Amino acid sequence: MKSIRRYLIAGILVWAPLAVTYLLLKFAVGIMDKTLRWLPAKYQPGVLLQQLFDTEAPVVIPGLGVILALVVLLLTGVLAANFVGRAFVGGWESLMHRIPVVRSIYSAAKNFAEIVFSDSNQSFKNVLLIEYPRKGLYSLAFQTADELGEVQGRTGEDVICCFVPTTPNPTSGFIIIVPRRDATVLDMEVDEALKMIISLGVVVPKWKKAKTRELPFDERDKPA
């Protein structure tokens, strides 16, 4: 029974990520394909292909909407980067912040997007090992901020803010503020740490010792 259970878990670990990836990609592609409806009916790719191949029904090719979605995103980014675009985006955000309920959702979504997609900050750039929930027990954490303003001033220490995720759902967790000296920066990448957390510790990243940071001194290494 133990062998059967082990094999079942191994099978789940193989197929579950594939299934989730497939479903998310299918959902995303389906959403982006709907952008084709923005085009006038006679200019939609399905109608044009119908005329080209002389078929009775419009030709449906999944994924064509991805191209249109990428073009829209690219043009939006170009417009938002210039002076007129920035003024328009600023006015739009000001309007969103005035609407009750909407402002909370919009602000949370915007902050999350900035954390995940921005390369200008250090959020979620380092995987840390901290002693939590007590001394002698270790937890994986992600560094989210290192400039804490009032918190830094009132503690009188060099502190950093860490997010300690729960398993197997890493989107929930705890915010922990710890002295920088008590946090060990690990060599593993963020995605490797997430895999370890989601798999309940079953999937352990391979340690690349050749690239490792300096290890703490071990009493056993003392010369006799």
Does residue 69 lie in a domain region?
Answer: yes
Listed residue (111, 106, 91, 182) closest to 141, CA to CA: 182
Q: Given pLDDT bands bounded at 50, 70 and 90, which one contains residue 55?
A: confident
Number of compact structural domains in the chain: 2
**Do 17 and 94 sit in the same domain of this protein?**
yes
Strands across the sheet containing 173-179:
173-179, 159-165, 138-145, 127-131, 184-185
Q: What are the C-alpha distances in Å from 79 to residues 40, 47, 74, 221, 222?
A: 23, 30, 9, 60, 62
Do 39 and 111 lie in one domain? The reply is yes
Q: 85 with 79: CB under 8 angstroms?
A: yes
- In this structure, the answer to whether residues 93 and 154 fall within a common structural domain is no
Shared-domain flag, residues 12 and 105? yes
Domain housing 170: 127-212
82 and 30 part of one domain: yes
Residues 108 and 136 in one domain: no
Enter the pTM of the model: 0.49
Q: 112 and 132 share a domain? A: no
In a domain, 13, yes or no: yes
CB 170 within 8 A of CB 200: no
205 and 148 share one domain:
yes
For residue 101, being part of any structural domain is answered with yes
pLDDT digit string (tens) for 122-173? 567 789 999 999 999 999 999 988 888 898 889 988 999 999 988 877 777 8
Identify the band that residue 76 occupies on the pLDDT scale cut at 50, 70 and 90: confident
Examine the fold and report which residue of 67, 83, 117 is the final residue of a domain before the chain moves on. Answer: 117
Specify if 147 maps to a domain.
yes
Does 148 map to a domain? yes
